[in-house]
A and B are shown apart, each in its own frame.
Chain A
Amino acid sequence: MSRIGKIARRTFLVTSAAIVGGVAFGYYAYKRPVANPLLDDLSEGEAALTPYVKIDAHGITLITPRADSGQGAYSVQAALIAEELDVELDQVTVDPGLPDPAYYNTALSAEAAPFRSTDDSFAANSTRGVMDAMMKFMGMQITGGSTTVPDSFEKLRLAGAVARETLKAAAAQQTGAQVADLKTANGAVELPGGGMIPYTELAATAATLDPVNDVTLRDPSTWRLIGKPMERVDIVAKSTGTQDYGIDFEIDGMVHATVLTNPRRYGEVIRFDDSAARAMRGVLDVVPVTGGVAVIADNTWRAIQAAGAIDVEWGPAPYPPKMDGHWQALSDSFNDDQLDSQFRDDGDVSATLDAAAEVIEAEYRAPYLAHQPLEPINATVLVQDNRVDVWTGTQIPRFVQTNVAKITGKDTDQVHVHVLMMGGSFGHRLEDRVVRQAAEIAMTRPGTPVKLTYSREEDFAQNDTRQIAMARGRGTVRDGKVEAYDLGIAMPSVIASQMGRQGFPTPGPDLQIVAGAWEQPFDIPHYRVSGYRAPELGPISSWRSVGASTNGFFHDVFLDELIDAAGADPMEERLRLMWHDPSRKTLEAVAEMSNWGSPLAPNTGRGVAFCMSFGVPTAQVIEVSSTDAGIMIDKVWCAAEVGQVIDPIMFENMVQGGIVWALGHAMNSEITYSDGMVEQRNYYDAPGMRLYQSPQIEVRGLENGRDVRGMGEPMVPPAAAALSNAIFAATGTRVREMPMAKVVDFA
C-alpha cells in the first residue's frame, strides 16, 4: 500500500464507542498537540472518537467528512466504507458529519512537500511526514487538492472492516455461534443455520465489546462496489429537482440578507447612505459588515433590490487599479531577489543557452479567473445565547467554526457547522467570507436565523480569483531533439493570499508557483524551472488545479514550441523524453485513442499535451478544425494514471466535465480590474463553455501505478495546452495567452 496508507495505519487505530442506542466506529482524535509530532500520537486521556460508521436501532449512517462539490465525493466515500462493511448504498444514510480535527486531510500535506510525486526517496517520504504532522496541528478538514480519494482509500475501508468484524463478534456473543462460521451481507450477519441478524439489532452489543482491530482488507478481486458503476447516492434527488443546496435551506423565522461589499477588493467603507434602501418594501434593517453593508429583508429579491439603492463611498483598493499595473508587477518579478524556487535544474542550462547559435524564446500569460459555480455563495447563521448554528456548503468547516466563534464571541465547540450540499465549488468554497459576514449580520438579530445570499453580480465582484501568471521560456534544439529547456514562472503566492485570510503565515517557497511544471517527468539534458514570487496583487485563491492550471499551459506549450523548432513529431518527442513509465503509458494511450499520425482533413489539426499534477500523469490529444465561423473543438481524448478508478461512470463524467471547464475558460474567460473593481459582472462577461461548443470527449483511466489518486483536478492543466497546440497545428498561429479568444475566433 502507499506511504499515505502506512501513515494512516500507524497513526490511526479504528475504535468504537457506545452512543445512544447503538455503536459508533471511528478513529481517535487528538485533543491537543503533543511535543513531537513524529512520535506516536495516541496517548491515554487525550483522545475522543470521531466516527465514520454509526449504527443504532434506526439504521446505519456512514460519515463522509470530505465535502461533495458535485463530483460524487459522498458516494465514493460511502462506497469505500460499504465495500468492507457489507452494506448496500441504499441501506445507509450518508452524512458529512460535524467538523472535527480527526478528519484532517493526510493527502493534502503530501502535495505541499517539495518532492515530485514520482520521488519515493527517504528524504521525500520523511518530509511528507513532517508536513503531515503540521497539517494535523492545523486540524485541516479541507476538501481540495484532489485528495478525497487518496486520503480516504485505506482509512474508510479499515473503518468498514473493523465495524464488520466487531458486529460479527457481537453476533457470536448473542447466539453462541463461532465467529469463523459467520458471514455478512446486506447489512446483516448471516448465521450458520441461515438466519440473519440485522446490524441494527447488534449495535448495542457491539458497543460493549473491544473493537476487532485485527482485520485484513479484502483483495481487490473480491470487490463488489469499488471499480464498478454505482448509482450515486444523490442521483435520484438531483434528477428530480428535489436535492436541497445551501441556498435552499429553510428554518422557521428565517430572514433574508444580501451584502454590498467594496468592489475594490478588501478596501474600506468610507461612508454610506441607506435612507432610500430603508424605505423599500420588505427591508427590515441595514447594517454594516466588514468591508461593506448588508440589507436584511423578508425576501431575497427585496434585499438585493434595496442593496442596489444604497449609496456608498468606497475606499481605494490595496492593489494596482488597472491591469497594466498587475502585468508590470509580474514582468518585474523575473529577478534573482524574487527567485522563490529552482527545484528543477538539470545539466547546465546557462552554458548551453550561452553557447547556442539560436535560442528560442517565448512569453506566456494567464489571467485572473473566477470560479463562479452556479449556486451563488450563501450561508445561514443562527446566533443564540449558548450556541451558534451555521448551515452552508463549505470545503473548510473547521476554519468556518473557528472564525464564527471569534466573530460571535463563543467557544469553538459552541459553534455547530452543518455542511450542506454545494451547487459546485471548483475551489470557491475554500473561502469563508460569506459565512463571516452572515455571522456579523446574525449577531444583530440574536435568535433569528439569517440567510445571506450573494447576488451573481456580487459573487463575480467578490470572487477571490485564480492567480494571474506569466512565464518566459528560453530553449535550444539540436539534431532534431530538444536540448535545453529553461522556464521561469512569475505569480503571486496563492497559498499566502488564501492562508493569509485565515491568519496563517506560510513560510518558505510556495510550491504552487511552479506546480505542474517543475516536477514533469521529462529527461531533457539541460532542464530548469524557476519560480518567481510576485508581490501580492488582487486577492487570489485555489481555482481548480491551482498553480498547475496556469503552469500546465506554460510548460507544455513551450515544450511544443521547442519540438516544433526541432522538427520532431510532438508525440514521438514527448515519448522519447519521458522517463517515467506510468506517464509514458498515458501518452501511448492517447496516441492510440486518437489514432495519432493518421491523415487529417484540410484546416484541421491535432495537439497533444501532458501534465502531471496531484500525482496524476495526464495526457490529452485535442482535434480542432478552422472554419469560417472560427475554431471548433471537435474531439478530445484523455488518459490519466489514477491507480484505481473507484467508479467508471463518475470518473468519466468528472473528467469530461473538467475538460469542458478548462477549455471553456481557456477560450473565453478572464477577470480584469479597472479602477480597482472587477469588470466582469455576470456570465455574459465570462461564459465558459456552452453545450453547442462541447466536443466529443473520450476518457480512459489507467491503473498501472501503485498509489490511488484523486481525479478532481488533474484533467485541467493539460487541456489549454493541448488546445493551443492543436490550434497551432491547424492554423500555424501559436496562442500564448488566455483567454485565447484574444488571439483567435471560436465558433
Chain B
Amino acid sequence: MKLTVNGTEHEVDVEDDMPLLWVLRDELNIKGVKYGCGVSQCGACTVHIDGEAVRSCQTAAADVWGAVTTIEGLGSPDAMHAVQTAWLEHQVAQCGYCQAGQMMQAAALVAENPAPTDDEIDTAMSGNLCRCGTYPRIRAAVKTAAAKLQEA
C-alpha cells in the first residue's frame, strides 16, 4: 500500500491491521513517533493525518485516509515550528519521550484554535501522559506557541 509521510510517498508491504505507529517506526525508520502504550492511553504516538491529531497506535495502516505528518515533518532543529520553539523556550522536556506526541497534539490544537483558554488546553492535552510531570510547562508552552502563531 502507499503512504504519504512528511511529503514523501512510500510503498509499504504490511498487513492491513498493522498500526501506523509500527509502519512508521519499523518499516520506514521514522523514530520521532514513539511507542508508549499501544492502546491510545498515552498519546506518545500522536501524528497528524490531514492536519488532525490521531493516535497512530490505534490507526490501522489500511485505514490511513490522508497525508501523514510526524514530528519530523512539523519542523526540524534548523527550521522549528512555533510549537517546537515554544517547547525549547520553556525547556519543557525532562526525559522528553512523550514530548513529540505532546507537540503534535499542541500543534493541532493551536492550528484549530488560535487562542485556547486554560480549560481548552486542559481538554485538548489531557490525553497525553507525561510521567515526568512537565504539565505546568506544557500549559505555558501551548500559550506561547499560540501567541507566536498569532503574531506571525
Contact = CB atoms under 8 A, between A and B. Distances in A.
Nearest to A453: B35
Nearest to B134: A657
Interface stretch (A111-119, A143-151, A361-369, A690-698): A690-698
Interface string B23-47: 0011101011111111101101000
A426 B93 contact: no
Interface in B55-102: 70-72, 74-77, 80, 84-85, 87-88, 91-100
A426 B133 contact: no
Contacts of B85: 239
Given A649-B91, A661-B132, A684 B41 contact: yes
B88 to A, nearest CB: 4
B39 A684 contact: yes
B137 interface: yes
Nearest to B33: A241
B126 A375 contact: no
Contacts of B126: 690-692
A657 B123 CA distance: 20
A374 B18 contact: no
Contacts of A690: 126-127, 129
Nearest to A232: B91
A656 interface: yes
Contacts of B94: 70-72, 424, 653-654, 657
B97 A245 contact: yes
Contacts of B41: 682-684, 687
Interface in A431-460: 453, 455-457
B123 A692 contact: yes
Nearest to B128: A691
A236 B34 contact: no
Given A301-B18, A374-B36, A423 B95 contact: yes
B22 A300 contact: yes
Interface in B10-26: 15, 18-19, 21-22, 25-26
A523 to B, nearest CB: 34
A658 B88 contact: no
B110 interface: no
Contacts of B91: 231-232, 235, 649-650, 653
A649 B94 CA distance: 11
B131 interface: yes
A661 B95 CA distance: 14
B26 A236 contact: no
B129 A70 contact: no
A256 interface: yes
A249 B25 CA distance: 11
Interface hub of A304, A656, A661, A664 (most chain B Cβ within 10 A):
A656
Contacts of B25: 300
B148 interface: no
Contacts of A301: 18-19, 21-22, 26
A661 B27 CA distance: 34
Contacts of B7: none
Given A236-B88, A239-B92, A660 B35 contact: no
A69 B22 CA distance: 25
A688 interface: yes
B31 A244 contact: yes
B5 interface: no
Interface residues of B, number: 62
B9 interface: no
Contacts of A657: 94, 130, 132-134
Interface in A65-85: 69-72
A237 interface: yes
Contacts of B84: 239-240
B143 to A, nearest CB: 13
Given A235-B93, A236-B88, A661-B131, A692 B136 contact: no
B74 to A, nearest CB: 8
Contact of B39 (A231, A375, A682): A682
Nearest to A423: B97
- Do most interface residues of chain B lie in helix, strand or loop, or is the interface mixed? loop
Nearest to B132: A657
A281 B85 CA distance: 42
A650 B25 CA distance: 30
A236 B79 CA distance: 12
B70 to A, nearest CB: 7
A300 B127 CA distance: 24
Contact of B136 (A69, A232, A683, A694): A694
B103 interface: yes
Nearest to A250: B29
A250 to B, nearest CB: 7
Interface in A620-658: 649-650, 653-654, 656-658
A243 interface: yes
B112 interface: no
B34 A375 contact: yes
A689 interface: yes
Contacts of B15: 281
Contacts of A247: 34-35
Interface string A355-398: 00000000000000000111110000000000000000000000
A136 to B, nearest CB: 30
Contact of B100 (A235, A241, A299, A376): A241
A618 B103 CA distance: 33
A587 interface: no
B3 interface: no
Contacts of A256: 26
A238 interface: yes
B75 A240 contact: yes
Given A374-B131, A657-B133, A456 B32 contact: no
Contacts of A664: 133
Contacts of A302: 18
B38 A240 contact: no
B131 A691 contact: no
Interface in A212-260: 231-232, 234-245, 247-248, 250, 256
A422 B37 CA distance: 16
B96 A691 contact: no
15 contacts: A70-B94, A238-B96, A239-B99, A241-B33, A241-B99, A241-B100, A242-B77, A299-B18, A373-B131, A422-B95, A424-B95, A424-B132, A688-B129, A691-B128, A691-B130
Interface of A: 69-72, 231-232, 234-245, 247-248, 250, 256, 281, 299-302, 304, 372-376, 421-426, 453, 455-457, 649-650, 653-654, 656-661, 664, 682-684, 687-692, 694, 696-697
Given A241-B33, A375-B34, 12 more contacts: A235-B88, A240-B77, A299-B18, A300-B22, A301-B22, A373-B97, A425-B95, A456-B38, A457-B38, A656-B137, A661-B132, A691-B125
